[in-house]
Structure formats: C-alpha cells, structure tokens
Amino acid sequence: MSKITPVILCGGSGTRLWPRSRADKPKPFLPLVGESTLFEATLRRCAGTDRFTPPIVVTGAKHLEHVEAQLGAGESGAQAAVIVEPAARNTAAAIALAALRLPEDAVMLVCPSDHHIADSAAFTAAALAAAELAAQDWLVSFGIEAKTPETGFGYLKRGAPIAGCGTAGPGSQVAQFVEKPDLARAEQFLASGDYAWNGGIFAFRAGFFLSELARHRPEIAAAARAAVAGGHAEGRRFHPDAKVFADIKSESVDYAVMENTARAAMVPADMGWSDIGNWEALHAARPHDAAGNHVSGPAELVDCRNVLVDSDGPRVSAIGLENVMIVVDKGEILVTTASGAQLVGKLHGAANQ
Amino acid sequence: MSKITPVILCGGSGTRLWPRSRADKPKPFLPLVGESTLFEATLRRCAGTDRFTPPIVVTGAKHLEHVEAQLGAGESGAQAAVIVEPAARNTAAAIALAALRLPEDAVMLVCPSDHHIADSAAFTAAALAAAELAAQDWLVSFGIEAKTPETGFGYLKRGAPIAGCGTAGPGSQVAQFVEKPDLARAEQFLASGDYAWNGGIFAFRAGFFLSELARHRPEIAAAARAAVAGGHAEGRRFHPDAKVFADIKSESVDYAVMENTARAAMVPADMGWSDIGNWEALHAARPHDAAGNHVSGPAELVDCRNVLVDSDGPRVSAIGLENVMIVVDKGEILVTTASGAQLVGKLHGAANQ
C-alpha cells in the first residue's frame, strides 16, 4: 500500500474555550490536555507509523506563526508543507486545496487539530483501515463510538458492510448522515447501536475526492483549482490566490460532499476521542482526583465535587461547588456550570475579541 | 438626660470576608454596603442626634491609620478620642478602657464598627431607650429582632418588663443569655417570639459597668484600671500601659459581665441589622436585581440567580450559577456557595495572612 498523507486542518475562533482560548491563539495551539498542544499531539499521532508521510497543514495567515513554531524540529515537522488559506472558507475548500497539491493517487487522512484522542494506537488502526478503503475510492469518515447521547455532534448511521476491505478492520457504507439530533433522538441512536459520532476525520484518495467535489459542488472545485493554479510557493508555504479563494463558498465537507456521494464509508473508531468542544468536555478529558476535581494553577478546593479550576496565576479558593468550571486567564475570569459551558462562546468577552 | 458617649470598637481579623477583607484592612474600614465604610457609617449613625457626644474609638495600633483617616473632618470626628489597645484582649477589656476614660455618670453606647444597620432612625430610638435604662444602672443589650433561625448568633431571652423606663420605648430584663444554638433550638426561639439576637450593642453607665466588672471579673477590672493609670495621652490618642494590658484575660463582655450581672436588660431593636458575618450576609445586605444578583465591578451574568460578583478589576463572566458568591481582590479569587460562605475564614488564604 502507498503511504498516507496527513492533512491537518488548523484554525478556530477561540470562543468556546474562552478565556483560555482566544482569537489570536485558539484551541489547537494550547496545551489543554497534558503538556503538548492539541496541534502538537495531532502531529505526533500522524507520525505514529512509517505509513504516514510528513503532513500538510492547512491554516490561516493569522495562525501561521503558531503553526510553524509548533511544527517542531523533527523529521516530520521539518518536511511538513503548509497551505496558507487567505481566508477561512470551511472544510470543503480547505481539503480541496490539499488534494490539489497532492498526486491523484495519494491517500489523504484529514484531521482536525483541536481534538483529543487518548488512544493513539486505536487511532492508527482506524487510520490504516480508512486508508485501505480510501484507496478503493470510498470517501471514508471515522465513525467514533458514541458513548453518551450527545446533542452537539452529527451522527453516522451504519450501512451495509464493505466486503474485502482487508486486514485492517471492518468498514461499512454510511446509510445516513444525521445532523445534530435532539436529546430524545440522540438517546435512540445510542440505544440502537447503529450510530456513531461524526468526528470530522476522513480518508480520501485525492483524485477521487476532487472528482466527487466537482460532481456535487463544481463551483467549489473549480475555484479551488484556480486558486491553486494562481498561487505561489514560498519555502514550504503555499499561498493560494487570495482573490479567487475569497470567492469560494464556505461549506463543510460533510454538507458539500459526504452527504451527497454514493461512496460514503465509515470505519469504527473507539479511541478515547473528545472534540474538547467546551469546558465541560475539556474537564472530562483531563485527569481527576477522587472527587472528580481537576486543578491547574494555584487553588484550594473545599467540599467541591466535579470542579475544574484552571488559573494562569491568581489563586482560586472554591467552597461547596459541584459541576462548576472556573477559568482564569489574562485578567478574565469565567465561572460556569457544566451545562452553562455551552454558552461560553456567546459571552461578550468571547464573542467580541 | 445627660448625653450619650458612643464607644466604637474597631478591629477584626479580616478572615470571614476574605479576600476583600484582609488582616491589614479588615471589615470596618471597607465600603461593603454603599459608599461609606462600615466604620464611617457607624460614626455617622452615632452622630445622628444632639444627644450623642463625639465618640471614643477603641482600636489596635495596626488599624490606627485607617481609623484616623476615616474619622473625617466633621465636628464629631475632629473631637473623637482614640484609645489604642496595645493588644487585642476582647470586648470586656476594651469597654473597660473606655469606661475608665469617662466620668462615672457618663452613659456609654458600645457599638461594633463592622455591622450594617439599614434603619438609622430605629437605631437612634433604641439607643435613647437603652441609655435611659443605663442611666438607671441597667446593663443594657440591644435585643435585635430575630428574623431567621440563625445559628451563628447568641440569643437574649426576654424577661420581666422594666416599669417606668420612660417614653423612649419598652425595656425588659434579660431572662437568659443563650450561646449560639443549633438549628432546632434556633427555630424554637424564632417561633416563640421570646428571643432576640444579641448583636453586641450595649448601653452602660460607665461607673456601674466598672463596678459590675469588678464584682464579676475583679482581675480584668484591676488590670484595666492599672493600664489606664499607667498610660499616656498623645493628642487625641490614649495609650494604655502595654505591659499591664497584655496580661489582661481575653474575654467577651457577654461572658465576663452580662451573663453574671443581676442588672441585665434589653431593649428591642428592629433596624435592618446585619453583622455582615460572611459573604452570604453581605450579599443579603446589598441591593439586588430581579434575579437576586448583585454586581460590583465588571461582570457579565447569564442565567444566574442569587449570585454576588464583587471584583476589583478583572471581568467576571458567570453562567448558570445559583446561590454563588464570586469575589476578586488583589489577585485572589473566591468562589463559594452561600452555605460554604461560613468556611471562608478557614481557607489558607484567609487564615494565613
């Protein structure tokens, strides 16, 4: 089998994990779980086997500094390519840029850079299985094993098994892409066992992805092709034509391609995945003491349960709290319940950066 | 009737309202309710009628600077006397010092400086009633109308009415002094209507107080007398003899005198009183919006009820909280439930100042 090229999508608005995450240094570039940043951990995960080539990172100009600082000095980082998006145009366009910079037969593994995956070996296994299907011209989503009735994720309904997908693991067609459900439906999905979370991790053969994009969204495909044709390289950076790129329609790859193609497949992935989508999710991904508390920075907790304290300096003294997250960062203090964590992005401080 | 001399007791360890209140600037000297500090409000309350003389303030050396800065330039403040305690020896000794600096027939109105009283007129009325009884050699406590079954206060059980206590209002003997009760007893007290809170406000004739102190605690009386005899004046300040004073036993006036005297009396006082004994009490004393929230400093509250935010600078963004107090002061952040507020004084930050 040919090698797999990680395509790492790197961006973010820095609102949902505000005030730690900010517009000028969003989630991927912060050490939110452990000592590595989520971006660094993504790079490392995609260098976990000799089946991976050095990555292509797709990012915006405003994050380029963080990307290049964190690519690191290792072989994979030194050989990484960076595509600098002139504007944020969602995942369909971003993936198209990377596909256009690769040989047609290259297999791309598209990874967000702001997720946490506890089990790297399970990730690698799923990636190899997905790559094998992608090489057979399936457009493959990771079907992340649903653990709870989440209403914040899209779901994949498992369809017919795909025969002959080799030794790397089971694969199946996607019977249906389901947008974020309400709680009752999410509970049905979980109980049925037929649904997996759509984690936004994909494997595609570059040429087949581009042909399917051209079939379902010809204007995005054409504009991306023109932006690459009119672009220029600068060392390892590639700059698509800014004017052409700015006119591309902003659509997710799910909406533009995956929901329309007849070749949608999925591979199961049970790998301790979290999108770290808000402070509650981040709290869940971090280690806890016996009372379910997690502390980063100076703090004293008295009679607290399931409390997160994350302070960049000031001491936090907390008494009697349950299911509360307290975050202190550069003069901003957030105190939210676990259920309130979904509203953080709407706060003045987060929304008006 | 003769005039009444306010004796204002000024101290505190700065633990229960930490981190706003600190050892070096405790509760009396902070503008906790409204724009005046509690000490300033106490001074103003005790200058509310021409029946009051300028006050005697009893304080420790470490708070002298705050006392003199806040005495103000008014007539009452300019004429105030200050007794500088060489050490903190509780209220029996502090009141004895003031009594010894007054003529025997002076009526003293002893007031803590860290309480909030919403209704000054009711305070004045109670003070005049208490003074009238004190002039007849009763040792008079304010019996503060109990509103809730508080377990953090001592209680006074109402005894026989005192006949002929004049026009200023009803007075009665104290049938019993009750230490802080448990909740069941506190509820009984409240239901019976026979009990009032002991708020630590007293009226005494100076000479009679000293004679009762000498009867029940002769060693405290003698030591206080010696400390004053060996003391020296310095402008309006009076410094008792430090060595003699340091040897005085530390006892509350309740324990040393009130619980032992046969001449204990009480006057009812329904005056919007709070001892501001913790952040929950302070929250209750402040104005609220329709959701029961109070904000001082920059803050955004979303889906919050009965939340206090008090910040000296950093913005506090709070989501989904109920019955929580958030206090930010000089790099310390306190987040406590209402019931947890009683534990604030035990926090490392508060206890190890």
Among A21, A250, A327, which Cα is nearest to B319's? A327
Q: What is the pLDDT of residue A168?
A: 47
pLDDT at B74: 67
Q: If pLDDT is split at 50, 70 and 90, which confidence band does A77 have?
A: confident
Residue A74 has pLDDT above 80, yes or no: no
E runs forming strands in chain A: 4-10, 56-60, 81-85, 107-112, 116-117, 139-145, 155-161, 172-178, 195-205, 232-234, 237-239, 264-269, 273-274, 294-296, 299-302, 308-311, 315-319, 324-329, 332-337
Q: Quick one: pLDDT at residue A1?
A: 64
- Predicted ipTM of the assembly: 0.89
Q: What is the pLDDT of residues A263-314, one digit of tens each?
A: 999 999 999 999 999 999 999 999 999 999 999 999 999 999 999 999 999 9
Burial B34-68 (b: 16+ CB within 10 A, else e): eeebbbbbbbebbbeeeebbbbbbbbbeebbebbb
Q: Average pLDDT of chain A? A: 94
pLDDT, position A165: 53
Interchain CB distance below 8 Å, A334 and B317: yes
Which is more confident, A258 or A77?
Answer: A258
For B257-269, what is each residue's pLDDT tens digit?
999 999 999 999 9
Kindly tell me if the per-residue pLDDT of B41 is higher than 70: yes
- φ, ψ of residue B163 in degrees (nearest 5): -75, 150
Residue A289: how many CB atoms within 10 A of its CB? 11
SS3 call for A238: strand
Predicted pLDDT at A275: 93
**pLDDT tens-digit readout, B161-177:** 997 655 445 799 999 99
Interface test with A, best of B312, B317, B321, B324 (most A CBs within 10 A): B317
CB atoms within 10 A of CB B26: 27
Instruction: Provide the pLDDT for residue A170.
Output: 78
Set out the domains of chain B in order of their start, with CATH numbers: 4-274 (3.90.550.10), 279-351 (no CATH)
Q: What is the pLDDT of residues B192-210, one digit of tens each?
A: 999 999 999 999 999 999 9
| Chain A residues in contact with chain B using a Cβ-Cβ cutoff of 8 Å | 19, 300, 302-303, 311, 313-321, 324, 326, 328, 331-337, 339-341, 343-344, 346-350
pLDDT in tens, A90-127: 999 999 999 999 999 999 999 999 999 999 999 999 99
Q: Is the pLDDT of residue A353 over 90?
A: no
| pLDDT digits 0-9 by tens, B62-78 | 999 999 999 986 667 78
Question: Mean per-residue pLDDT for A203-218?
Answer: 98
For residue B328, which residues of chain A lie inside 8 Å, CB to CB? 314, 333
**Nearest Cα residue in chain B from A323:** B321
